[in-house]
Amino acid sequence: MVGFLNDLSEEEKRAVREDLSEEEMAVVDMLSRDKKISDKEKAELKDIAKELLERLKEKEFKIIHWADKEQTASAVKVVIKNYLFDKLPYPVFEEVDVNVKTEVLFEFFKGKYAEGMAA
């Protein structure tokens, strides 16, 4: 195990410590950027990142080239926005924050999963 940990980058080690995948850690980082959050809120963000990624991978990201299809891309953005609106802790995250975080995550997911995922 020690050899394994020595081979990891700092970000990978941080993800292991946080019990998150690298992409989940990236989502948590994007959500928490420019926010002062408590440990409880950070735990909530971890759950939100895991659940949102799982949801998108199970449905939206299975559509091949979803980002190239305007209607499908819009649907993905709506899923992200609605999920964040329902789940992000208020008042730390207000509606304007949800809108900004939706755009940031959508662009991240578009860059990572635009081709879709094999079923």
pLDDT tens-digit map of 48-101: 999 999 999 999 999 999 999 999 999 999 999 999 999 999 999 999 999 999
**Mean residue pLDDT across the chain:** 88
Does residue 6 lie within any of the structural domains? yes
Amino acid (one-letter) located at 30: M
Does residue 119 lie within any of the structural domains? no
Tell me the two tokens of residue 118. Answer: 């094999």
Q: What is the pTM of this model?
A: 0.85
Does residue 118 lie within any of the structural domains? no
Does residue 58 lie within any of the structural domains? yes
**Host domain of residue 10:** 2-113
Residues 6+ apart with CB under 8 A from 76: 56, 60, 66, 67, 106, 109
Own/partner long-range contacts of 19-24 (Cβ < 8 Å, ≥24 apart):
19/46, 20/46, 20/49, 20/50, 21/53, 23/53, 23/112, 24/49, 24/50, 24/53
Does residue 94 lie within any of the structural domains? yes
Considering its fold, how many domains does the chain have in total? 1
